[in-house]
Amino acid sequence: MTRIQIKNIFFILFLSSSVSWANHLERSSVENFSPPEEDCDACGCTTSAMSNGIESLMTNKFIGVRYLYQHYRAQEDAFSKELSQKQNFQTTLLWMRYPISDRIEVAAALPYHFHEKKGKNNDKISGFGDMNVTGIVHVLKPKIDEETKVQHRISLASGLKIPIAKFDEQSAETTNPSFQLGTGSWDTQLAMHYHLQYEKNAMQLITDYTIKSSNKKKYRFGNQWNQLVQIQRFFPTETGGINAKIGFQNELYEANRQFGEKLPKTKGDLQLMKYAVEASYQRINLGVEFYQVLSSNLNSKEVEAKHRVGFFVNYSL
């Protein structure tokens, strides 16, 4: 199946559902589950609370830690023809979620990055990334159709990315401008999630869009649009349960700009399959996620995504 066919299929699914954010599989039997997602600025210079745990299956009061590893291949410079440089992006994320009313919740995330380039031009950077604060409104709380026993849920979210990390203008001039700790800009994030459930089975349709602004160097990363459709099955146990998930994720990146001018070779798209398994025991929730790249078209093929692996542990408050 070609990249165009994949994107067309997903676009039809997305428009027909008009969707988004996921939450509870069966609060009575799954209240210890919380699978986080991760938004990445092409290669992970930012982490977004928009999809870090908002698509949650556990109680809406928790604190957790998540680790994400991303591997890429890139050209050494503009004159290289081969993707000989290895780029590893590692992020450890502290995040939380807390209700302030029956329908409104807040979430926050603070990442710490360890990024590395290996090749002719080696480089390492580490430090705190940009912080995210998000508000979530449950437009349609869990509603069960008595005839079909199908449950629906819709949530909307809006967030703000606060520039804490330093933006490196020199790194922005390389083949991968996203080799950064942060963007240096205040960005707005919008999301919608839809959850459809029948007994222990569920489908989630999720989308989020990040509107990015210019930083002090007049550099603006391109806006980003992510879509995810996934199905899952919950297997309850006496003290918790196991949740298995599989999904398709599409990521679209607009071109970066500086002084208002579009920069060449900075836009792209990425399609991935997501596989995840979680286990809960009383107040503890553990999980592992693997993202398999189906198609990578980043920075005019000067950067190629390989895979992502994530682990997380959450504690219900």
Q: Which amino acid is at 135?
A: G
Confidence band for 120, pLDDT divided at 50, 70 and 90:
confident
Q: Has residue 283 got a pLDDT over 70?
A: yes
pLDDT at 43: 53
Range from 63-72, 136-145, 255-264 carrying the lowest mean pLDDT: 136-145
How far, rounded to the nearest angstrom, does the alpha carbon of residue 112 sit from its chain's CA centroid? 16
Nearest-CA neighbor of 301 among 265, 249, 260, 247?
265
Cβ atoms 10, 1 nearer than 8 A: no
What does the alpha-carbon distance between residue 80 and residue 65 come to, in Å, rounded to a whole number?
Answer: 38
Q: Has residue 14 got a pLDDT over 70?
A: no
Model pTM above 0.85: no
pLDDT at 147: 74
Range from 21-25, 96-100, 176-180, 252-256 carrying the lowest mean pLDDT: 21-25
Cross-strand pairs, 296: 270
Higher pLDDT, 224 or 23: 224
Distances (CA, A) of 175 to 30, 169, 222: 44, 13, 15
pLDDT at 144: 74
> At 14, is the secondary structure helix, strand, or coil?
helix
Tokens of 193: 């999630």
pLDDT at 239: 85
Tokens of 5: 């066919």
pLDDT at 201: 94
Domains of the chain, each with CATH number or no CATH: 49-316 (2.40.128.130)
Q: Which amino acid is at 314?
A: N
Cβ atoms within 10 Å, residue 213: 14
Distances (CA, A) of 7 to 61, 128, 150: 36, 34, 29
Q: Has residue 40 got a pLDDT over 60?
A: no
